[in-house]
Structure 1
Amino acid sequence: MAEERRNARRVLLAMPLGFCAGVERAVETVERALGEYGAPVYVRGQIVHSEQVLEDLSGRGAVFVDSEEEVPDGAVCILSAHGVAPEVRRRVTARDLRVIDATCPLVAKVHVEVRRYARAGRTVVLIGRRGHEEVEGTVGEAPEYTHVVMSEEEIDALPIAPDAPVAYAMQTTLAVDDAARLVARLRERFSDLIGPGKDDICYASQNRQAAVKAIARECDLVLVAGARNSSNSNRLVDVARAQGTAAHLVPDAPELDSAWLERARVVGVGAGASAPQRLVDAILRRLAELGYEDVEERELMRETVTFRAPRWPS
């Protein structure tokens, strides 16, 4: 019997997975606004990076816009979990809008750090990916003081003197190992360097990376539920591959390519912090159809973090 189980096709489910406290807070904010004010409510940017969540909320009356200028006067305007630059916040508050700020508190913490470093006269090195909404919002706190890097080569090329006062901050959804490597290079490069007392990478990203890392070497393949533009989901793919295991992002169950499963006896499944449970369930159903009916949950730790709802318009 033990031999049969070892040879059977099965799934290892890396837990925790799915929504983090910041994503739950953001989604609940849109749902509450729809309930209290009725449709439409306007959301600047994608409230979270999940095609399924956006489709669901759009169907209920949420309108996602790229700019606050697209929001009509008098309407409800929700700022996404990724945060915005102070200039955006000034523009929305200057208008006749009911503004609700759903910025994740952990992202807001990084904004505070960058402001503090800049006020102290330090050049800020932000470890993050250019073009990501969170990074754009964070840079906006002190654009004239901030440099964005995502490689050791970019750190080496920074136009900053080795003895200049420097501080670093991080995008909250980075891969833990990558961030540690880049901080180590910053310490080698600058003699007067300070950073946050605790890494900026959010607890949920760290937990999901640890959970995927824990199962990856037992697996022939790892599948990660998450949107293509979800930074934390893409980092889970990177973490699995760093363990020498093939890995793929699965934005929707029909996109799971059966060819990936060739010669795969054990398949790991993880999910980003913005991936809804229904996406995970759909992937598991698809795997069951392909012969992977045996699912073993591997819970590395249990999450109990919650955040207060954002301030509501009076």
Structure 2
Amino acid sequence: MEVILAETAGFCMGVDLALRRLNKLVASADSRPIYILGPIIHNPQVLKRYADKGVIMVDTPDQVPPEAWVVIRAHGITRQVQADLKARNVKIKDATCPRVKKAQLLIGRHTADGRELLLYGEADHPEVAGLVSYAGNGFFVFGSKEELDEYGLDPDKRYVLAAQTTQDKVLFKHVIGKLSGNDQVDVIVLETICDATKLRQAEAKQLADDVDFMVVVGGFNSGNTRRLAQVVSDKGTPCRHVETVADLDLGELARFKRIGVTAGASTPRMVIDEVLEVLESL
């Protein structure tokens, strides 16, 4: 069996930066407790490793005591939560991905004049909650062209179209094309999908054409990992999304001659290597 690993598999720049900032803080936190407001990244193995080091994950600002350190996760937080944290007199370490921060600021700037935000993304994702909090005049989150059609756009309104940074670039282009062809609607388009996401998805599609089966490694709660599995499946290549090596069905995989492996932006190299080792032993 031949096993081929995608070049872009594993941590992206934003995730790597967030974890390096947290690691530095853990090493020099001057005895202050360290809190994370929500998971710093969407990977259970990484979260457990930091919990074992004493890092405490909480859900709301009021769970962080005054004078403690609080780390803002790679997905970012809402403007309201940011204000709550500052009011509580805590020490803030901002580990928001620079791409997410840029998208937040772009949305704030382009909706300040009264435009409504149309955001392509997952309504329940923490990054999306942060992005829409910067919209100055209302917003609508949609996950498909059909949802946007059902919403209906008002010719008397002005809009800003943006996307969650880890969304599918191809599908977003279809949405842009649809709105660009509507002369009745005033829409400004913001290019907020991360280049790393686009490259990772494009590479996964190309690799899917060259193998008999694809394994996508990453947390089941990771949106960008789920989308990787989806773009591969859309190519017609059999695919399995696994969180760890324990999720592999070795009996199923043993019959394939060429297996491709890619991984989400929040998947540690150690987890990827464990999957590769087992596949290469078949």
Q: TM-score range by the shorter chain?
A: over 0.9
The AA in structure 2 aligned to 1:213 is K
* Other-structure match for 2:214: 222
How big is each residue's C-alpha offset from its partner over 1:25-76, in whole Å with a ceiling of 9 and x where there is no partner?
1111111111111463100011011112111111112111111211122110
The aligned counterpart of 1:54 is 47
Cα drift, residue 163 of structure 1: 5.2
| Counterparts of 1:144 and 1:131, CA distance in 2 | 20
Residues 1:194 and 2:217 are matched in the alignment: no
In the alignment, which of 86, 91, 95 is matched to residue 98 of structure 1? 91
Residue pairs, 1:27-42, within 5 angstroms = 27-37=19-29, 38=31, 40-42=33-35
Give the Cα separation in 1 of the matches to 2:6 and 2:155: 42
Gap runs ≥5 in structure 2 = none
- Specify the alignment match of 2:16 in structure 1: 24
Label 1:133 to 1:260 Cα distance change in 2 as closer, same or farther (>3 A): farther
Q: Aligned with 1:120: secondary structure?
A: coil
Aligned counterparts of 2:115 and 2:136: Cα–Cα separation in 1: 12
Q: Does the CA-based 8 Å contact 1:39-1:60 persist in structure 2?
A: no
The gaps in structure 1 that reach 5 residues or longer are: 1-8, 292-314
**Does 2:274 align with 1:287?**
no
Measured in 2, the distance between the counterparts of 1:83 and 1:164 equals: 29
1:108 corresponding residue in structure 2:
101
Q: Which amino acid aligns with 2:250?
A: S
CA distance in 2, matches of 1:180, 1:229: 25
Which residue does the alignment assign to 2:177? 184
Q: Which moved more, 1:228-237 or 1:137-146?
A: 137-146
1:185-208 deviation line (CA, Å, top 9, x unaligned):
232345311112xx2111221121
User: Distance in 2 between the 1:285 and 1:86 partners?
Assistant: 44
Residue in 2 that maps onto 1:256: 248
Aligned partner of 1:203 in structure 2 is 195
What's the TM-score, normalizing by structure 2? 0.94
Aligned equivalent of 1:240, options 227, 232, 245: 232
Q: Which residue of 153, 162, 178 corresponds with 1:160? A: 153
3-state SS in 1 of match to 2:241: strand
- Mapped contact 2:114–2:136 kept (Cα < 8 A): no
Structure 1 pair 153–127 and aligned structure 2 pair: CA distance change class (3 A): same
CA contact (8 A) 1:30 1:62 kept: no
- Partner secondary structure for residue 151 of structure 2: coil
- From the superposition, tell whether residues 143 and 248 of structure 1 become closer, same or farther in structure 2 (CA, over 3 Å): farther
- What residue number does 1:83 align with? 76
Check whether the contact 1:14–1:268 (CA below 8 A) recurs between aligned residues: yes
- Whether 1:131 aligns to 2:124 is yes
Following the alignment from structure 2 to structure 1, what is the Cα–Cα distance between the partners of residues 116 and 223?
25
Is contact 1:23-1:274 (8 Å) kept? yes
Q: Equivalent residue for 1:212? A: 204
Give the C-alpha shift of residue 253 in structure 1: 0.8
Structure 2 Cα separation of the partners of residues 244 and 121 of structure 1: 43
Q: State the Cα deviation string for residues 203-248 of structure 1 (Å, max 9, x = none).
A: 2211211211111011111111111111111111111112110112
Q: Distance in 1 between matches of 2:193 and 2:67?
A: 36
Instruction: Among all aligned residue pairs of Structure 1 and Structure 2, give the percentage whose two residues are the same amino acid.
Output: 34
Q: Distance in 2 between matches of 1:157 and 1:187?
A: 18
Matched, 1:274 2:269: no
Counterparts in 2 of 1:32 and 1:81: CA distance versus 1, 3 Å: same
1:231-282 C-alpha deviation (Å, 9 max, x unpaired): 1111111111121101121111111122431532111000111111001101
